[in-house]
Every structure is written in C-alpha cells, then in structure tokens.
Chain A
Amino acid sequence: MSRSFVRHFVFLGCMVLLFARCEFQPSLVFNRNIKMPDSAYIGMELTPSDSIYTFYESSSLSYDLRTFGLPVYSAVFFMDQEKVSESTDTTGTLYFSFDANSPGEHTLTLVVTTGSNSGSLADLLHAEGFLFTKSWMIIYAHANPPLPCELTGIKDTAGTVKISWTKYDGVAFKEYALLKASDLKGNIWDEHVIQTITDQNVTSVYDSTHVGGLVYYKVRVRNSGGYANSGTYVHETNKSNLQATWISGNKIKVSWTPCIFYRNFKQYTITDETFGGDVVYSTDTIGISSFIYDGGVFGGANKFKISLEAKTDNYIYNDNNNSTAKVNVGQSFPVFKSFNNNQINNIVYLLTDDYKLTKINAITGQSFGTLSLGYGTSWCAVSPQDNLIIAPPTTSFSGYVRIDPANFFSPANINMPVTNAPCMETTLSGTGIGMVRFEMPQTGYKIYDFFNKREVFTKTTTDLTCGKISPDGNYVITGFSYYSSLAHCYKITNNDFEPVWIANARPVDFALNSNKVVLINSSYQVELRDISSSQVVNSFFIGQNDQYQDTDPFHPLMLFTTWSGYIDQCKLKVYNYLTGQKVFEMVSMNTGSSSFAIQDSTIFSGAGMKIKIH
C-alpha cells in the first residue's frame, strides 16, 4: 500500500509540475532607450512686428512660426478669451474686424502646440509635445481724416517726371495716391490715379505715364478716417505744337515737336480730322517730327490731330491747343458763280451770286474792278477775243447789257424787241455775234452782231433749238441741254443755218483756241471734234460719274468732277485730252453748288479757292 501511494504521488506531482509551466509566455521587450526631452524653443512673430498694435480699421496681420523642425499640431489665436483662429500652418494671416471688436485694449494670445520630436511612442502618436504662448496688445481706435500733403516738386528727368510731396506724419496711414489730369481749362474731366503708394515713407514717384503736354498733378493721402487732397499743380512740358503746311497739290507737311519722355513713349498717331478722323500716319520712332501727307483736300481748311500714345495705361496725351493744326490747301480766290474766260489772256470775268461781275487776272489775282449788273442777272457771255461781254436785261423794260472790256465800267444797253431773246446758252464768237431766238409772230432764230449792234440774218423755223456760236463765228452747235444726246452742227452761210453734221453725243463746251467742240457720248467717251470737218481729233474715256466742268484754253487739259457721298466733297480729275491720261486728281471740299473752271493749269473753285496743278 505504501509503495502504491508513493507511485501515484510521484506521478501526479510530475504532471502538476509539467502542465504548470508548459504554456508559452512572451517575455522579451525591445527597449528603445530614448531620453525624454526637457525643453524646446520656437519663434512666434507677427508681421509687421510690434508688441502693441493700434487698428483704426479692419486689418490683417500675418504670423510666422519658426519651429526648428518641431511639428505644429495647432496654432490658436485668442482675442481676450475668445478663440478667433486655429490652424496647423506655420504661416498665415489673421484678420481683425474693426466692427466686431469694441474700441479699447484687447489681448491677442497665440497658443502653439508642437510635437517633441523625441521619437518616443507618445511623440509618434502625437500624445507628447510642447505648449508655447505669446501675447500682444491690440488697441482699436478711431482716426480723424488726415491733413493734406503738398506737392514739393515736379521735375522732368530721365525721360519721365518726378513728383515729390511732403510726408504724412499722422496715424492710420493707408496710402498715397497720385492723381493726374490733362485738361487745360481746369475742368478735370480725365482725372485719374496713376500710382498708389502704400509705404508712408515714400514721398516721391516717377510718373511713368507721362508723355508730355499740360497736365495737373495732385497727391491724395488716405488714412482710416478718410482722405485729403493737395492743391492742384500744373506742369507743362513738351507740347506737341502740331503744325501743317501746304506744299503743293494735295501734299501737306505735318510737323511737331518731338517727345522727350522716351520711357513711356509708344508712338505718334496723326489723324486727318477734316472729314472722318482717319489715322493717316503713325510711328514709334520718337525722333521723327514730320511727314508728308498726300491726301490734302482742296478748297478749305484741312485739320490734323496728333496723339502721343504711352506704353502704359493706354494713356494718350492730346491737348486741344497744341495737338491740332489747320491748313488751307490751295490759294484764296474770289468766290464766283460762273467763270468766264477767253482765249486771249488770263483775264476772266467772274459773275457772283450777288449779280456782280468782277474782272480779274486769274493767275496773278489782280482785280480790275467789279461791276454790278443788277438784280437777277444769271449769266453773261464773253467774246473769245476779249472784246465784248453781254448780259441779259434785269427787267422787261431794260435792254441787254453790252460791256466793252476796254471800258469795263461803262456798260451800254442793246435794245431788242421784247419777243427777241439771246439764247441763254449762247456764246459770243470772236467777232461778237451770237444767237437770238424770237417767237412772235413767228418762231425763228437770228444771228445778231452784238459788237456792231445789228442783225446779221433771220431764219423763221421750228426745226432749230438754241445753240452756241463757235469761237470762229462760222458754226452753230445745238444740243447743249443736259438731257440731250445728239449734237447738231449748222454752218452760218448765206443767211441761213446749213446742216453740216450730226453726232450721237452731247456737246458740252468749245475748246477755244482750236475751234473744236467737246462732246461726250453715251459710252462715257469724250470726243474733241473739229467743227468744220466733223472729224474726231481726240477721244478718251472717263468715269461713269465724271461730270464735265471746263477745258483749259491754253493747255490740253480738261476738268471733271466726281461727286462723293459727302455733300460738301467731290473729287477733281484733270485729263490731258491729247493723251487721254488723267494727270491730276484730288479731293475738294465746300463744293455743294460750286462751279469749277480750269485755266492755265490752274483749277478754280467757285467756293473761293484755286490750286495750280503739276
């Protein structure tokens, strides 16, 4: 029994020992041997840097945390006890609302929580770190409007303008603003800010917008309470002084004073303001001071304007008095309604709207006097030999006016029957004969010698119409009416009108010295036809809208006009009828109902101008 007890006791004891320690129990530990940090430093700065901030309006401060590698878990700002901002950034901006805070002193506190960078488990799990605090005083106060600054100097220098002013020494400064205007009369219609300066210590700037002229400057200082303007200071330099000079024909020289403000100069732009303001010239070369314009308009003042454009702000300097120029293209000449010349000399007789006849040398301009023909005189006829002038009666009781050019101021009357009347289109031949129409008791035509005041012959007929006597006095050409399409030529012979030829064209004038008639057919072809032989000596084509005006008695030149869309504007064209070439062309103004004539290579405008062509 004792052996069995020992046996069982030993067996059970071994089992207890066996199973008591058999389960695996992890016991080893990785000890990292890290030391606990005891202190750290960071920088906490506001910009602008100060310890006391006085705000006169809503403002912003930026903060900058220099953590030297410590991670920022939070950066919290408190205004007094109230949290106003929270971030994890090391830099940022803090906005201070003026309206949301009561006037007076406040305390701004920044609380920054960072990690320890120890590398411990707590640090890695953001459960360990440092706490930093820093405070500033914030004062909210109201500011009064500032006292104005004054300009102390405006100086042209280095291609621009330097403007200086007195420094603003008050509180709550916000900015200086430099204002500029360029009107001459004090009506500051284009006043605008050209620069804004937010540094209180900067009291001078360079006006980079300036390109010259008369300008106003003033400086405006602004603080939180308002703003104040300085007085207005005038600065005047580098006026453009635009000038225009007529050279010849349609050429005009436009010149100006070069700009000295090269820093902002962009370009000159010249516009023709005569009609539409088209840009006729521009250049970005600052040294150029003139150009030749070949678009001059005859008959009045041509207007030009120069603009100095700046590189910045689309600023354009342009003052009324110095940036515009006028020039007349052509020379002045008396106003006339009809231009009556002859083939002997340059003496012409100008009939005006006030029924006066002026004798004048068309080239030299020398006037020989003016004769009043009486109210209602609408035409006159001049002999090609400059030996006779006739004009219609002004009343039914007065006779025709007969004027001897040699005795210009002593006109005489030619009494004719009431039923007799010179054709209004008539011309006088070199011998002084003209065509007269009579109606009662029968209808017919007369050839009348106005020089000798006698009738040459009378022809009773209804087949004729009024016509013009050829310069040599041997032929009558009919069909001068604007709506006519046929020209009839009759030879004056044996007291009769003998038909010679018929042309399918409308006669418009005689070439005085060559005894030729000028016709225009339906194909817009001009024909110079020898009156006696009916041969077309010269012909050339013109434009569809070209209207015949005159033929030069001394040069093979023929003047036409073409009306444009402008009421007071047309284009003058001069053709050489020998070659058919257009030898001159330019625009004319003030031509609403004006007559034009050409003599001795000079164009005359009834509006009172003349111009010599090439």
Chain B
Amino acid sequence: MIALFLMFTVIRVCSQSLTAGLNVGMGSYTMNTLRELQDFRMEYAGLPAQVTENFPVHLNGGVEFGLCFPKFPSRLVLFYQFSSTGARVSSKDYSGELKLDLVANCRQIGLGLEQDMVRYKFFALSGCAKFSYLLTEIMTLDFLRINDQASREEYRFTSGGAGLEPGILAGFNLLFFRIGLYGGYLFSFSEGLHLPGNSKAFLKLPNGKDAVAEWNGWRAGVKLDFRIPLKKKQDKKS
C-alpha cells in the first residue's frame, strides 16, 4: 500500500506521461543441465531415438506499464515477460512412436529503467536495465505408442530465481506511440527445479546435480509503446 501510494504520488508530481507497451522477440537459452537431462532420458529409454529439438531460439514477449520523466530516468516501467523453449527426443516408425518432450516456460516480473542517451528529432537511443523475479515451469512428457496401445506420463516442475538484463533500445516516436528495436542479454540466477507442491523434491540428474533452468542468453525484438500524456489533462482541469 505504501509503494502504491508512493508511486501514485510520484506519478502525480513528476511524471509527464504514462506508457503502456508490448514487445515481441527472440531469445536464446543456455539450459545446460536440461540438455543433460534430455540425454539421460534418451539413453534410459533404450530405444533408437534422436534429439530432434534441443532448446532452440524461440519467441518471447511481454507487456509493460511505465512513466516518462523529463530527466533521469527517462522511463520507469513495470514489466511482465514470458519466454519459452523446449526439447524433444523422438523416434517413429510403422509400429509406433516415442516422444520424450520437455517444455520450459519462464515468467519474469520486474522493474525496468530506460535512459535516453541520444535524441535527434523523433529518434532516441536509450540504455536499459531490467531487474526481475523469474518463475520457471517445465513440463515433461514421456509418450510411447505401439500400434494402437499408448502410454503417457507427464511431470511438472517449478523453480524461482532472479534476472538482470542490460540492453539497448533504438526507438522512433510517432504520434502517440513509439516503436523500437531492442537488444539485450539476460543473466539469470535460478534455484533447482522441484515438484510444485514440494520445494524439497528436486529434480536430480544421474550424476547428482540439480536440474536448473538456465535462461541466460541474448534477447532481441521489437517494442511498441503507447503514450498517454498526463500534464495536458491536468492543465485542462486547472
């Protein structure tokens, strides 16, 4: 309540406008231990299979709401970012099919700062920094079908963590919105994956290591902001 009160006060006193934006882009993900996990699953299956997908670069996207200031910072935003990737070990022939899937989703909630460094007419080049809380969720699927008989086993694991993502945004202000190109690198710090209802039931690799979702990697994408001027409305009222 205090934070909301302070934010409201800051908005009323300092900000020139509100922004609401969304972004979409691509991200790469380290996922070293989960790659080992997939290797183990393939070996344990004991069947001729191949890794067909192995945590590839994949779409991510998010929304943010923020305030614009005349000096520092140029923008202060509250953002939500969703990232996803996965892997598959598969084998298929006339008699059946084997799939060992793993889908990893990451939800980030945090604060972001932008500071315009260069301005020229409607173009601005800004430095960015995002501080976030990471909530990771992975789903595994063991699927085997022989002729018309199939078996399916699914498991779900979660973990928490933190992220720091520095980046650069090149934006173009047009009418009431801004469109920009963003690039950055996420440093993630996650705990071990565990069962959702039992934070001590960790997912372990055969070598004893904890399975950890490593979301480290490059981020690039397109960003679209909508500006809602505040001072103008206040002037009209006054």
Binding site for B on A (CB under 8 A): 3, 7, 10-11, 14-15, 18-19, 21-36, 118-125, 127-128
Contact = CB atoms under 8 A, between A and B. Distances in A.
A23 B177 CA distance: 27
Given A26-B88, A127-B95, A127-B146, 6 more contacts: A7-B176, A7-B177, A18-B22, A22-B59, A23-B84, A27-B53
Nearest to A4: B228
A119 B101 CA distance: 23
Interface stretch (B43-51, B108-116, B190-198, B211-219): B43-51
B129 interface: no
B104 interface: yes
A128 B90 CA distance: 20
Contact of B49 (A23, A30, A127): A30
A26 B146 contact: no
Nearest to B144: A121
B226 A19 contact: no
24 contacts: A11-B20, A15-B22, A18-B24, A18-B62, A19-B61, A22-B59, A22-B60, A22-B82, A22-B84, A23-B84, A24-B58, A24-B84, A26-B99, A26-B103, A28-B52, A30-B52, A31-B92, A31-B93, A33-B93, A35-B94, A118-B95, A121-B98, A122-B147, A124-B46
B97 interface: yes
A15 B63 contact: yes
B95 A128 contact: yes
Contact of B96 (A7, A22, A119, A121): A121
A29 B90 contact: yes
A29 B92 contact: yes
A283 to B, nearest CB: 73
B68 to A, nearest CB: 16
B213 to A, nearest CB: 13
Contacts of A22: 59-61, 82, 84
Contacts of B226: 7, 10-11
A14 B64 CA distance: 13
A123 B63 CA distance: 51
Nearest to A127: B146
B85 interface: yes
A26 B101 contact: yes
Interface residues of B, number: 44
A127 B97 CA distance: 13
B105 interface: yes
Contacts of B147: 122, 127
Contacts of B90: 28-30
B59 to A, nearest CB: 5
A120 B224 contact: no
B91 A14 contact: no
B66 to A, nearest CB: 14
B61 A30 contact: no
Nearest to B176: A7
B50 A30 contact: yes
Interface in B33-73: 46-50, 52-53, 58-63
B48 A32 contact: yes
A30 B94 contact: no
B176 A121 contact: no
Ordered nearest first, which 5 A-B pairs have the shortest CB separation?
A: A122-B95, A26-B88, A28-B52, A18-B61, A24-B86
Contacts of A32: 48, 91-93
B203 to A, nearest CB: 19
Contacts of A14: 22, 224
B87 interface: yes
Contact of A123 (B46, B59, B95, B103): B95
A119 B94 CA distance: 11
Nearest to B59: A22
Nearest to B23: A18
A28 B49 CA distance: 12
Among A18, A34, A119, the most chain B Cβ lie within 10 Å of the Cβ of A18
B146 A28 contact: no
A120 B96 contact: yes
A510 B125 CA distance: 162
Contacts of A29: 52, 90, 92, 97, 99
Nearest to A116: B95
B49 A26 contact: no
A27 B87 CA distance: 9
Contacts of B94: 34-36, 120
A577 to B, nearest CB: 107
Contacts of B50: 30
Contact of A11 (B22, B92, B99, B105): B22
A121 B46 CA distance: 10
Contacts of A123: 95
A120 B95 contact: yes
Contacts of B24: 18
Contacts of A128: 95
A118 B101 CA distance: 26
Contacts of B99: 26, 29
Nearest to A20: B61
A19 to B, nearest CB: 7
Contact of B104 (A24, A28, A122, A125): A24
Contacts of B62: 18
Among B20, B48, B95, the most chain A Cβ lie within 10 Å of the Cβ of B95
Interface in B126-171: 144, 146-147
A29 B146 CA distance: 16
Given A23-B103, A24-B58, A28-B90, A121 B82 contact: no
B84 A121 contact: no
A412 B152 CA distance: 144
A4 to B, nearest CB: 9
Given A11-B226, A18-B22, A121 B105 contact: no
Contacts of B22: 11, 14-15, 18
Contacts of B177: 7
A89 B98 CA distance: 31
A16 to B, nearest CB: 10
Contacts of B102: 26
Contacts of B176: 3, 7
A22 B83 CA distance: 7
A49 B91 CA distance: 45
A28 B105 CA distance: 19
A36 B94 CA distance: 7
Given A15-B22, A121-B97, A121-B146, A30 B59 contact: no
Contacts of A120: 93-96
Contact of A121 (B20, B59, B85, B91): B91
Nearest to A12: B22
Nearest to A6: B176
Contacts of B95: 34, 36, 118, 120-123, 127-128
Nearest to B63: A15
Contacts of A36: 94-95
Contacts of A15: 22, 63
Contacts of B224: 14
Contact of A30 (B85, B91, B96, B105): B91
A122 B103 contact: no
